Amino acid sequence: MQRLSGVPFEPWLLERIQAARHIVLSTHVGPDADGLGSQLAFVRAARATGRTAVVVNEDPLPQRYAWLDPAGDIGHFDRDAARLADVDFALLFDTHEVDRAGRPAQALRQAGVDVWVVDHHAVKPDLDLQGCVATEFSSSGELVFRLLHALNWPIDAVAARALYAAMSFDTGSFRFLRNQSNTLRVAADLLDTGFDANPVQEALFASRTRAETLLLGRVLAQMQFAGNGRIAWAALGPEIGEGLTLADDAIGETIPHFVGVEGVFVAMQLKPSRKPGDWKLSLRSKAAVKIGDVARHFGGGGHEHAAGATLQGEKDQLAAQVLAMLEKTVADQLG
């Protein structure tokens, strides 16, 4: 039975978290600064209340987020599965799909541990979930800030920095303010704890590696336009990253450069998935066009302006199918 709390948080949600003594946190595969920052802040606050709290994700901490976790709290399944042994409650951050959390969430469920979610993505109605999902929030970090306040757990400068990183990441440096001025009020409260925001911003937004910069050049060289110049797209083969040492989602970082082109409303990238033969579809859009339905049509999901799916088939055929639907979507919505 699905039981989800919004904000203000339902008493049963706060009571369940307060009752937990040994908490484990997990997030989706391909962890990002939002999920990781939310975890680190929650761990810090939970420990300050006398609880034990650990993090076990499917994937290891990506190297580019090492600065976020100087204490080494972010664990991963292959190395740290033993940490799952003595927990009495689990929270899944920044996703509500247990499949997207990999082995930690599966192992916990098999062991009979409650796995609840804390997420800001729109929920698939048929999923059996408990926890908190509030889609009006910019980020899981903003939601966790509210949750920690509702629990009356402390947010010190270390936790605040992690939440600020989470929020800054998901809002593209506070440009996408889903919760409007509230998002900036939360950021201001976090800054008042006294950490320096500049290194956080630089680590998130001014730290592209040389390999990533070369990749960006290659991807931009593949960019094409469709739909009277209102769609920018590329279908990228595995050779795009040849000879470059790159993180798994390095191509994904290039899509803002597509949607950022003047006159473009929708960006589409098709790129190799981790699983050979599968293709990852990424979609972004400016405010005037919603592309969530296109992703859902192809069996994926996400937000109205940032969504994706995993596809099987031949790359150029798939790209043509997606483009046809995007051209119709753009024409329907913009005329």
Kindly state whether residue 73 participates in binding Mn ion, applying the rule CB under 5 A: no
Q: How many residues bind Mn ion (CB under 5 A)?
A: 4
The residue (of 87 and 309) whose beta carbon lies closer to Mn ion is 309
Residue type for position 195: F
| Piece of 41-49, 62-70, 88-96, 107-115 that binds Mn ion (CB under 5 A) | 88-96
**Minimum separation from the CB atom of position 95 to Mn ion (A):** 8
| CB half-sphere exposure, 102, CA atoms < 13 A | 18
Helices in the chain by DSSP H: which ranges? Answer: 11-19, 33-48, 77-80, 103-110, 140-151, 157-170, 181-191, 197-205, 210-221, 255-259, 292-297, 315-334
The residue (of 68 and 234) whose beta carbon lies closer to Mn ion is 68
| Piece of 34-42, 151-159, 227-235, 257-265 that binds Mn ion (CB under 5 A) | 34-42
**Minimum separation from the CB atom of position 334 to Mn ion (A):** 27
- Determine contact, residues 115/100, Cβ cutoff 8 Å: no
Task: Compute CA 50 distance to the chain's CA centroid, rounded to the nearest angstrom.
Answer: 29
Q: Residue 229: helix, strand or coil by DSSP?
A: coil
The residue (of 39 and 140) whose beta carbon lies closer to Mn ion is 140
The residue (of 100 and 103) whose beta carbon lies closer to Mn ion is 100
The residue (of 34 and 58) whose beta carbon lies closer to Mn ion is 34
| Piece of 33-41, 107-115, 223-231, 298-306 that binds Mn ion (CB under 5 A) | 33-41
Give DSSP secondary structure letters for 39-107: HHHHHHHHHHTT-EEEEEESSPPPGGGGGG-TT--EEEHHHHGGGGTT-SEEEEES---GGGG-HHHHH
Among 58, 73, 94, 212, binds Mn ion (CB under 5 A): 94
Residue 117 DSSP label:
E
The residue (of 241 and 308) whose beta carbon lies closer to Mn ion is 308
- Determine contact, residues 166/36, Cβ cutoff 8 Å: yes
**Minimum separation from the CB atom of position 100 to Mn ion (A):** 12
**Minimum separation from the CB atom of position 93 to Mn ion (A):** 8
Site for Mn ion in 206-235 (CB under 5 A): none
- Determine contact, residues 129/148, Cβ cutoff 8 Å: no
- Ranked by CB distance to Mn ion, the top (closest) residue is 34
| Piece of 94-102, 110-118, 276-284, 297-305 that binds Mn ion (CB under 5 A) | 94-102
- Determine contact, residues 184/174, Cβ cutoff 8 Å: yes
The residue (of 69 and 88) whose beta carbon lies closer to Mn ion is 69
Kindly state whether residue 170 participates in binding Mn ion, applying the rule CB under 5 A: yes
Q: Mark residues 126-165: x for contact with Mn ion by CB under 5 A, - for none.
A: --------------x-------------------------
Say how many C-beta atoms besides its own lie within 10 A of residue 66's C-beta.
12
Residues 6+ apart with CB under 8 A from 127: 2, 96, 97
The residue (of 227 and 302) whose beta carbon lies closer to Mn ion is 302
Residues of this chain that bind Mn ion (CB under 5 A): 34, 94, 140, 170
